[in-house]
């Protein structure tokens, strides 16, 4: 038999915890001395190890008490706890992905702006769509992505020039520029994933915020997008 202090020392449990377990009926000592001192036996020790093991799974004391007392409750509780932990693991994976995206940002000293963009991104793209976009970027590779960024800048300037000089939407020049624009965007989207629609909606509802991170004004970029729409409409 062990005193409460001996049991606490042997199992690396606090005396306070053992007293609490006794108070709530989770672990009552086998005996008490005439003076009221607790004495714990081998069965109490085994029960304590079960309690501590279940605590490592994140279970509450109430859940542990139920699982130890009700026949068949343990398996049900373990399945439920496994589902909870699996969900938490998915949330952690999502957070890891967000942190990786943040640290890979072009301007690592401007984390707040990157976080704002990530929050905006999460509001418009489902996790599956984000995975699809990430997979496309990975498949293209860093060099292709950098090349696409340079091509994007060139195309924006080309389309801006068309807008400023009044190039007709049905002209060969306009059609060629927009064809390149569409091909560039398509390289980053997977057919049927819905990412192109989500991208357009994000732009339509947040053009000011997105433009603030680019070398062109929101008015200029909205003009480019409207011109591209007119070219697509003209070519049918």
Q: Is residue 94 part of a domain?
A: no
Residues 231 and 148 reside in one and the same domain: yes
For 39, the 3-state DSSP assignment is strand
Place of tokens 């060629």: 176
Q: Is residue 144 part of a domain?
A: yes
Q: Is residue 196 part of a domain?
A: yes
Instruction: Assign residue 48 the CATH number of its domain.
Output: 1.10.1660.10
User: What's the pLDDT band for 99 if we cut at 50, 70, 90?
Assistant: low
Reported as a single tens digit per residue, the pLDDT across 107-121 is 555 555 555 566 667
Q: Is residue 93 part of a domain?
A: no
Our measurement of the distance from residue 179's CA atom to the centroid of its chain's CA atoms, rounded to an integer in Å, reads 34
pTM beyond cutoff 0.85? no
Q: Last residue of some domain: 17, 42, 70?
A: 70
**188-193 average pLDDT score:** 84
Q: Is residue 200 part of a domain?
A: yes
Q: Is residue 79 part of a domain?
A: no
Q: Is residue 172 part of a domain?
A: yes
**Tally of domains within the chain:** 2
Class of residue 24 by CB neighbours under 10 A (exposed 0-12, middle 13-18, buried 19+):
exposed
pLDDT score recorded for residue 117:
61
**51-57 average pLDDT score:** 85
Q: What are phi and psi of 72, to 5 degrees?
A: 85, -10
pLDDT score recorded for residue 38:
94
Name 25's Cβ contacts closer than 8 Å, sequence gap at least 6: 65
Residues 176 and 62 reside in one and the same domain: no
pLDDT score recorded for residue 154:
92
Domain housing 26: 4-70
Residues 122 and 230 reside in one and the same domain: yes
| Six-digit token string for 143 | 């060099």
Q: Is residue 90 part of a domain?
A: no
Report d(CA 95, CA 200) in Å as an integer. Answer: 25
Residues 44 and 157 reside in one and the same domain: no
């Amino acid at each position: 038999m062990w005193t409460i202090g001996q049991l606490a020392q042997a199992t690396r449990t606090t005396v306070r915890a053992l007293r609490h377990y006794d108070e709530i009926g989770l672990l009552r000592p086998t005996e008490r001395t005439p003076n009221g001192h607790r004495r714990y036996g081998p069965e109490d020790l085994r029960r304590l190890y079960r309690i501590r093991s279940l605590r490592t799974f994140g279970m509450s004391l109430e859940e542990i008490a139920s699982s130890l007392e009700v026949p068949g409750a343990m398996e049900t509780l373990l399945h439920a706890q496994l589902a909870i932990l699996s969900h938490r693991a998915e949330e952690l994976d999502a957070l890891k992905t967000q942190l990786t995206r943040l640290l890979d940002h072009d301007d690592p000293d401007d984390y707040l702006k990157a976080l704002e963009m990530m929050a905006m991104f999460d509001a418009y793209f489902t996790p599956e769509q984000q995975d699809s976009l990430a997979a496309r970027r990975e498949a293209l590779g860093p060099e292709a992505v950098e090349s696409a960024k340079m091509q994007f800048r060139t195309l924006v300037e080309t389309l801006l020039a068309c807008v400023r000089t009044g190039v007709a939407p049905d002209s060969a020049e306009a059609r060629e520029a927009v064809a390149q624009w569409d091909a560039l965007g398509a390289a980053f989207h997977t057919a049927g994933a819905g990412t192109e629609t989500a991208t357009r909606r994000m732009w339509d509802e947040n053009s000011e915020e997105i433009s603030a991170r680019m070398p062109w004004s929101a008015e200029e970029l909205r003009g480019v997008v409207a011109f591209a729409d007119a070219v697509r409409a003209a070519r049918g």
